[in-house]
Structure 1
C-alpha cells in the first residue's frame, strides 16, 4: 500500500505501508537531496511540468502499488536481504533507474519496520542486534550556505559537534544552548536569523572565518569549551562550487582557487578553529584533492566522502584502496535499500573507517535513520539543526532510545583517536 506525502520542501515524496499477514505493519517516508552526487541512485520524478513543477511521484507510486507489490506478495518479511535482493533484481539497473530508488527504498524500510514489529523488538535492535547500544554523536548544522540557503556563503554546512557531552541527552542540551546563543549573537549583529533547508541560520556573512568565529563565540557564551565540549565540522559540498578543475567562490565574491589553494584554506582553518571533521572538501571527481587532504591532515581530523562515494560499495572500495578519506557519509536513499546500506557500513568497519548516518535536506518526520544509526553503532549522525520538526524528530527519537536502553546506553566521542 502506498500514497503520496510531502517532504520538508513541500514537494511530493513517498510514504509506504507494508502489511504482513500476521497483522503487523510498518511505515516509511522517503527523503530527498538538494546537492546530490552524480552517481546516486535515481530518485524517480514524473517530469510533468503541469504538476508540482515536474517533481510529482505518480510513476513511483504506480511501481509500488503494481510491479513491486506483485513481486513481494507472499514473501517472508524476515530476513531483510531476500526482500532487498528481489527489489534489486526486479529493477535490474545499477542506479535503480527503472523503478526509482525512492520507490524501492520506501518499500525496503517499511518492510524492515514491519518485521521489527512482528519480532516484538525496536527497529534498532532488529537491525543491529542486542549489542546495538551506542548513541550517535550528532553533527548539528547551525549555519547553512551553498545550495541550502540564499545567502553569501559558499560552504554548505557549518556544524557543531557536542562530542564531549556525557550522554546523548546532554549532547542535545549542548547543541540547543549553542544554537540559541548563536541566534542571539546574529540578531545583535544585525544579521538575518532566518533558517535554511536543514534548520541552520542563513546569514549574509562576509567570510568563512566570520562564521567560525561566531560559532566559537556562541559555544563560549553557553559556558562550554570549544573543542573539548563542542567542536566544529564542515560540509563545504565542494562539487557545488567546482568548475573545470578550479573552485569558484561565486556567492562570496567570485574568488577562484586551485586545488592546492583550497587545501591551504582548509589547513589554515584547522589551525585556527577546533574542527574535527570535513566532508566533501573537494569535488566528487577530484580524487587527487581528497588524497592530498588525507595525506596532509588525515591523522588530525575525520575526512568524510559523500558525493565521492554516494553510499556505493564500488566507490567506497576505490576510496579504501587509494586512501582517499578515512570516513564515509551514509545515506540510505543514495543506494536504495537497507541491505545495500548495511553492506556499505560493513565495508567501513572492515577498513577501520568512520561512518556517519545522514539525513537529506528534503526530509520528512520519519525517524528511520535514528534507529539505523544506533543499529550500525558508528557513533555519528547528521540530522540537521535544532529547529524544524523534521530534524528534531530524529533527535527526539534518539532521546527515546537512550531512555529505553537505560544504563546500557553508550555515548562516546568518535574523534578522540583522530
Structure 2
C-alpha cells in the first residue's frame, strides 16, 4: 500500500520576489499533497545571517539563484525523497549535515529554507490540517497584533530619513480583523496627509509598502502619524500605538565609531538620549535595533533603562540564531526577538530560537523581509507560535497583504477560540 506521507518528489525553480529579484521556490510532493514555499530576501541584513546563495556574473546583475536551485534538485532532493514528510526535524538535520557549514554557505540558506518550509506545508496538506495547527498543535490560537510599516526610510526608501521603519500597532482593537481595518483606514488617510503637505510625488512607496516622503528628522514621521490617526477617528497611544526600527547598523560608521543621524554624530549614550526624547513625546511601545549588531553594551543599557516601559527588539544582533539569543539573554540585551526564518535557514531552528526567547520571558515578533513573495507562511507561523505580534509591512501590494489576508482567514477558522492580545502583545498569556 502506498504511504501517503512519503516524499515522492522535490523540485525547485527560480522565480521573482517583490523587488523583481530572483528567489527560490520549492515544491515537495507526496502521493496526496504538494507543498510549495517561496523564500524571501532582506535588504538591511545582519552580517551573522545564514548565507543567501547568489550566482554572481552578469545574469540578473549577479543575483541569480540557479546554483541554489540546482542544490535543491541535485543534492537535497535525492537525500530526502522516500522520507516521511512529517519528519520535519530529521529532514532539516539532514540538510544541515549535507551543507556542513555554520552559515549554510555550501548549499545556501535560500535552498535549505525553501525545502524546509515546503516540507511543512506538504505535511500539513497530507494530514488535512491548517499549517498553523500542524506547526503549533491544538494550542495555536493567539492572533498577532500587526506591526505595520507605513513610513519608510533608510535602505527601504529613497528619502533622507536615516531611521528605517515607522510602524503603527492597533493595540486597542478587539480582533485582528478590526485591527487591520484600523491600519488600512489610517494608511489611506496618511496618504492624503502626505500628499497635501509634500505634493503627490511624495506618496511613492518604499520596499515594504510604506510611504517615503521627503523627511529628515526622526520626529517628523510621528507628527504625520498622529495627524493621520486622529483624522481617521482613532486615539494615538490608546488605540493605535507606534513602533520604530531605526536599523542602526545601517547608519553606524565603524571608522569613527559613531552613529550618524541627519548629518549629526552620536555616540551610544547620545543616541540613547535621542530615543528617550522620542519615547517621552510619542506613544512608542516597541523599539527594534536601537544600536548596531555588535553593540551589546548599549543594547543592555537601553533594556535596563527602558525595558520596563517598552519592548526592546533585537534583529541584526540576534539574527534568529539561538547561540546569539542566549548571549543576549545572559547580558539582558533585549526583551524581545525578531524572528525571521530566512536568517537561520530552517523551520526547526527558527522554532528553537523562538522557544529559547520564550524561556527567558521575551516577546517574539514574527517578521517578513523587505524582499518578499506572496507566500503567507509567516502568518501561519505567528499563530502557530502564539507570538502575539507580526511585522509584515504596510497594507499595500499582495506580497504584504497576502499575510494579512491569511490571518483574516485564520481568525475566521478560530472563531470563538482566537485571542487578540491588544496591549498585551509582548506576552499574550499574562
One fold, TM greater than 0.5? yes
Q: Deviations over 1:11-54 (max 9, x none)?
A: 1101100001x231100000000000000000000011x20000
- Shift, 1:178, TM fit: 0.8
- Shift, 1:217, TM fit: 1.2
- Shift, 1:415, TM fit: 4.6
1:324 to 313, 327, 333: 333
Aligned in 2, Cα 1:415/1:395: closer, same or farther, shift over 3 Å? closer
Q: Deviations over 1:211-269 (max 9, x none)?
A: 111101111111111111100000000000001221012xx3x1111111100000000
Aligned to 2:173: 165
Q: Deviations over 1:263-317 (max 9, x none)?
A: 0000000100000000000000111110110111000000000000000000000
Aligned to 1:239: 249
Partners of 1:387 and 1:91 in 2: how far apart? 37
Partners of 1:131 and 1:143 in 2: how far apart? 35
- Helix, strand or coil at the partner of 1:45: coil
Establish whether residue 314 from structure 1 lines up as the match of residue 323 from structure 2: yes
Partners of 1:246 and 1:233 in 2: how far apart? 24
- Shift, 1:345, TM fit: 0.4
- Helix, strand or coil at the partner of 1:232: strand
The root-mean-square deviation of aligned C-alpha atoms, in Å, is 1.1
Establish whether residue 52 from structure 1 lines up as the match of residue 60 from structure 2: yes
- Shift, 1:80, TM fit: 1.1
1:31 to 36, 40, 44: 40
Query: Is the 1:37–1:284 contact (alpha carbons within 8 Å) kept by the matching residues of 2?
Result: yes
Aligned to 2:394: 385
Partners of 1:341 and 1:107 in 2: how far apart? 14
Query: Is the 1:302–1:415 contact (alpha carbons within 8 Å) kept by the matching residues of 2?
Result: no
- Shift, 1:416, TM fit: 7.6
Partners of 1:169 and 1:231 in 2: how far apart? 17
- Shift, 1:145, TM fit: 0.3
Query: Is the 1:128–1:376 contact (alpha carbons within 8 Å) kept by the matching residues of 2?
Result: yes
Partners of 1:40 and 1:416 in 2: how far apart? 24
Which structure 1 residue ranges, 4+ long, deviate > 2 Å from structure 2? 413-418
Aligned to 1:72: 80
TM-score w.r.t. the length of structure 2 is: 0.95
- Helix, strand or coil at the partner of 2:317: coil
Map of 1:140-179 to 2, 5 A cutoff? 140-179=148-187
Aligned to 1:10: 20
Partners of 1:175 and 1:186 in 2: how far apart? 16
Establish whether residue 248 from structure 1 lines up as the match of residue 235 from structure 2: no
Q: Deviations over 1:91-117 (max 9, x none)?
A: 111100000000000000000000001
Aligned to 1:136: 144
TM-score w.r.t. the length of structure 1 is: 0.97
> Is there any run of 5+ residues in structure 1 with no aligned partner, and where?
none
Query: Is the 2:162–2:216 contact (alpha carbons within 8 Å) kept by the matching residues of 1?
Result: no
Establish whether residue 83 from structure 1 lines up as the match of residue 91 from structure 2: yes
- Shift, 1:410, TM fit: 0.9
- Helix, strand or coil at the partner of 1:239: helix
Query: Is the 2:145–2:425 contact (alpha carbons within 8 Å) kept by the matching residues of 1?
Result: no
Partners of 1:212 and 1:153 in 2: how far apart? 12
> Is there any run of 5+ residues in structure 2 with no aligned partner, and where?
1-10
Partners of 2:289 and 2:219 in 1: how far apart? 18
Partners of 2:323 and 2:249 in 1: how far apart? 20
Query: Is the 2:311–2:426 contact (alpha carbons within 8 Å) kept by the matching residues of 1?
Result: no
Count of equivalent residues = 413
- Helix, strand or coil at the partner of 1:406: coil
Query: Is the 1:279–1:305 contact (alpha carbons within 8 Å) kept by the matching residues of 2?
Result: yes
Aligned to 2:211: 201
